[in-house]
Structure 1
């Protein structure tokens, strides 16, 4: 009888490999980032950990043995969700892995824009000693967190160290610790005029596509900063550029964009009131360890016991 097979399309430390082997000692475990390592094993793999471009045709073919897909990213908007659902394939995401690194990036944006760190870096390169209009501080301001999941909760918690008022927006409207007032997505426009910082941590779905456009930026304070680490398509980028150019909002910290890589011709590159990072807010030295120990292994234990994996189980009806 052939051994059951799992394919992990990423390089892992031996310590993590050993932990996986302890859970499924009798399985054939294929691990490695190099496509040549796992390509021939895709068709008979029961579990795939790490979605890669170009594997869809094999994994969704009639002869595929795939039953469970564990992604290496929190977002699943790039997956063929309808096809996976139609084949009853379980999908779990890496949601939660990013809470610490992304919240740190968010606060780097917020502090950098508030205390003009990006401006002073430019001044330093030009050997220019200039005050540059420094005056703002972050303490006791109001932050609106649009999407209060694992990342949003961490942002809310850290915000309290700055004495900030925290407004939250989430689909369910369910209350969350560290959030002073919670609203539903339909109430987004109601809170924008009150926010000094608007932080987007939403997944991309049909409902969140271009959720932010001219109307939303017009509702914001002219002194407000906009932070997006969710997905670029949540924002109408032309409307954002207009709002930044015309002083409708004060500035932006952006890790994601409608098209990536961001075009060299984009006006965002040259804007003094914008800080750009290349979709790296979730990068961390602990990434693989958290995916394996916090998500894959607990789910794997359930799976081999005949229980459906529950950690970060994707709800196909919601798209995340």
Structure 2
């Protein structure tokens, strides 16, 4: 029987050819994640992407599924326990987002230090005005929660601005680009040193609502919070309280506990908050990068039976 790869995302002809070349003996079929063909998926050994309503088919006892390559870095929406129990290999798209998301992080930081967010509002009102409170990134300290691909790229670029970079990670192991790295249990101590607290963490049982009232109270007076990780890692009410009190000077937010952010949510009306609609990782190079990860993994899978890059540890949920 022919072995099957089903991709639930759009691919160019070039991307399809690259996958076929890397997977001799396999057929590649393009599906639709929004309207998946269950009969097609029932024959799949490898699935690229994910979609609603496909779990029962892929996790049935008859399913030949052995490996899922997600189209995203986060995997919290997948049936992880059932996948682990069935022995399905899971790889994510970690690393795809590093460059575009880092650009958004620095976009937020530069907006705040140079007051560009208020300049845009003034332009709309044809108002020639500056508070004279502009600053710069040189000499500032960035506390970066998460030292993975996004955190590391952010730290690397921060060094070009001659910033101090402090990392926070589960292991606390040294990482390139960081002056110091601390374990997660030191987060409350470390944030007091930061002019910017940057959250790049995935959503897990450990990180859910990690950034709450205690963390924000420990932050340096007048510092800024940036979240491009997952919305549910943050207690939104505690964040708004810290912003309204003036303890935090501002926030750059790409992710939210509820998405889309409701039209009547008070965050929309806060002038010290800059909002982007969960698009920090969007780039015209996204598909190329995921396909690159998949091809590397496919070669390893054919050789050893296990993909080599971005293999998710079910116990850690990333």
2:133 corresponds in structure 1 to 134
SS, match of residue 239 in structure 1: helix
Cα distance in 2 for residues equivalent to 1:37 and 1:212: 37
Alpha-carbon spacing, 1:274–1:42, altered in 2? closer, same or farther (3 Å): same
Cα distance in 1 for residues equivalent to 2:214 and 2:142: 19
Mapped contact 2:33–2:51 kept (Cα < 8 A): no
SS, match of residue 167 in structure 1: strand
Shift in Å, 1:150: 0.6
Residue deviations 1:187-228, cap 9 Å, x none? Answer: 001111110000000111111111111111111122101000
Shift in Å, 1:37: 7.0
TM-score (norm 1): 0.97
Gaps of 5+ in 2: none
Mapped contact 1:109–1:275 kept (Cα < 8 A): yes
1:100 corresponds in structure 2 to 99
Shift in Å, 1:272: 0.7
What RMSD in Å do the two structures reach over aligned CA positions? Answer: 1.3
Alpha-carbon spacing, 1:161–1:50, altered in 2? closer, same or farther (3 Å): same
Cα distance in 2 for residues equivalent to 1:180 and 1:105: 22
Cα distance in 2 for residues equivalent to 1:24 and 1:96: 22
Mapped contact 1:100–1:151 kept (Cα < 8 A): yes
Mapped contact 2:208–2:234 kept (Cα < 8 A): yes
1:16 corresponds in structure 2 to 15
Cα distance in 1 for residues equivalent to 2:248 and 2:34: 45
Residue deviations 1:22-66, cap 9 Å, x none? Answer: 122332210244656744311110000001122112111222111
Residue deviations 1:64-89, cap 9 Å, x none? Answer: 11110000000111111101000000
Shift in Å, 1:13: 1.2
Matches within 5 A, 1:1-320: 2-33=1-32, 38-293=37-292, 295-320=293-318
Cα distance in 2 for residues equivalent to 1:6 and 1:78: 22
The alignment covers a number of residue pairs equal to 318
Mapped contact 1:31–1:38 kept (Cα < 8 A): no
Mapped contact 2:164–2:179 kept (Cα < 8 A): yes
Residue deviations 1:89-110, cap 9 Å, x none? Answer: 0000000000000000000011
Q: Which segments of structure 1 move beyond 3 Å, counting only runs of 4 or more?
A: 32-39
Gaps of 5+ in 1: none
Shift in Å, 1:15: 1.1
Greater Cα shift, 122-131 or 297-306: 297-306
Cα distance in 1 for residues equivalent to 2:36 and 2:205: 36
Shift in Å, 1:160: 0.4
Mapped contact 2:301–2:308 kept (Cα < 8 A): no
Cα distance in 2 for residues equivalent to 1:80 and 1:274: 34
TM-score (norm 2): 0.97
